[in-house]
Amino acid sequence: KKGIHKMREGQEEDFSVHIIGLGNAGVSVIEQVGKDVAENLTEGGNLRFSALAIDVGDGGFEGVEKLKEILPKSCSHIETLGLEVPKRDDLFSTLRRMREFLKLEYPRYYWNPNYEPWLPTDTEIPDEGESLPRSLSKAFYAKAYYDDKKPAAEAIKRFTESADASTGNSVVVIVFGLGGGTGSGIVVDLARHVSNVNFGRRAIVFGIGIAPCSGDAKEHRGGSLFPTLNELDCMGDRSKNDGVTTVWGDLYRDPFTGGMMMVPQEPTWQATKDLKKTHDRVNREIS
């Protein structure tokens, strides 16, 4: 209603695109967008492209890293961040300090004297390559953002500085899989840090959640989808979000200032019955 981020109707303008890809789904979308935007980026032009790919571990970033070779350095910023899988004791040392971190970030945070980490102490940490629960990826992100050298906070800062360096209009897109463990686990926390903390809600931040299809692995189309949609509902439903911000403050305001879109994969899967073809087509259509 306030029209803070409303675009003028009837005008076609060039927009610089800045994209954060979370998990395998988001990283693969960055690869496609980077290839497609390359033909429009020129040295000394008005357009700029920024990309931040985040996943757990250091694998799977080869395609994003190759974008550094094909995009002009003067008008692009490409960065990858592999969230470290910490040792159990180090992880719980961070989680036990979450009240301290949240109190610094959210002045209205209620200091719960009975606080316990959301992960039970006997939590099994999967081996590399195994499916990751949302609760664990959320914990890995918290450690990378709040604790030690804060690699996540520093990467987000560099990304937002690159977006701010754009001379014209910009839109920031956060892409993630709704059913996977990594992207769905960290998207709400990361989106708040990007939109409400770093940009101060100045930027158009648009969310794209890729829905699972019946051809995806069982763990990507199971019960983890329910809490993901609940989290997003608390952000996107205006009346619910007003209730949240009344208690916790404006840093919990819906970070998707430009709205959010859910992208289905099922129709393409039904037409192809090939998961790679399905993912490739969805990536092209998103781009």
CA proximity to 194, closest of 20, 11, 58: 20
Nearest 10 degrees: Cα torsion 214, 215, 219, 225: -40
Give the contacts of 171 (CB within 8 A, at least 6 positions apart). 15, 16, 17, 18, 203, 204, 206, 258
CA proximity to 156, closest of 54, 235, 66, 278: 54
Angle between helices 62-70 and 23-37 (to 10 degrees): 20
pLDDT value of position 12: 63
Give the sheet arrangement for strand 76-83, strand by strand. Answer: 76-83, 49-56, 15-22, 169-177, 205-210, 260-263
pLDDT value of position 220: 85
Q: How many whole angstroms separate alpha carbon 71 and alpha carbon 49?
A: 9
pLDDT value of position 218: 87
pLDDT value of position 215: 94
pLDDT value of position 42: 85
pLDDT value of position 254: 95
SS3 helix, strand, coil % of the chain, rounded to 5? 50, 15, 35
pLDDT value of position 39: 85
pLDDT value of position 193: 96
Give every residue of the chain whose pLDDT is below 70, as ranges: 1-12
Is-contact 68 78, C-beta < 8 A? yes
Give the tokens for residue 261: 């879109």
Give the tokens for residue 241: 């979000």
Could you give the 3-state DSSP secondary structure of residue 95?
helix
pLDDT value of position 5: 58
Give the contacts of 108 (CB within 8 A, at least 6 positions apart). 247, 248, 249
**pTM summary value:** 0.93
